[in-house]
Amino acid sequence: MGKKINKDINILEAFKEFDRLIPVTEEVVKGGARMKGTFLEMIRLRKEIEQLLSFLLKKKSLKLCPVCGRTFKYKERKIYCSPLTEGRDCGKKARNIRSYLHHRQERLRKSIKRMKELRKLYKERNIKK
């Protein structure tokens, strides 16, 4: 049996890199007709990758993380990236966001109170930041 390969299938990062390179490639296309074919091939390749990604998402081979936007292997009831398999803890980030939205006013009051106390202490001790 072969080893289990657990690599991140990160197509969206490849798209970001592709989008970063497009303006550079467009400048090169203006310079010479030979590079124009390469530019058109890159655009065609991006469309094929987008079709493959949408196909895999529909077939439930891949799933898209709503927090970071990366893809991971589909597992039933798995919503976010996991620190064990993908090395990112997006579930924790999502829970923190939900918790903050739920307890926002209470946390803001505590934060404001702490800042007032800190400023008062700085003023008493003549500390300037």
Residue 91 pLDDT level (bands cut at 50, 70, 90): very high
Tally the domains of the chain: 1
Whether residue 5 is contained in a domain is answered as: no
Which residue would you say has higher pLDDT here, 114 or 73?
114
How do residues 31-42 score in pLDDT, each as one tens digit?
555 555 666 677
Whether residue 115 is contained in a domain is answered as: yes
Distance, in Å, from the CA atom of 33 to the CA atom of 28, rounded to the nearest integer, reads 9
Whether residue 42 is contained in a domain is answered as: yes
Which residue would you say has higher pLDDT here, 83 or 24?
83
The answer on pLDDT for 128 being more than 60 is yes
Amino acid 107 reads R
Domain containing residue 63: 11-125
How do residues 43-88 score in pLDDT, each as one tens digit?
777 788 788 888 888 888 888 889 988 888 888 899 998 898 888 8
Average pLDDT of the chain is 78
Whether residue 47 is contained in a domain is answered as: yes
pTM of the model: 0.51
The angle at the Cα of 55, spanning 52 to 57, to the nearest 5 degrees, equals 110
Whether residue 96 is contained in a domain is answered as: yes
The answer on pLDDT for 6 being more than 50 is no
Whether residue 6 is contained in a domain is answered as: no
Measure the CA dihedral 15/21/26/27, to 10°.
Answer: 170
CB atoms within 10 A of CB 30: 9
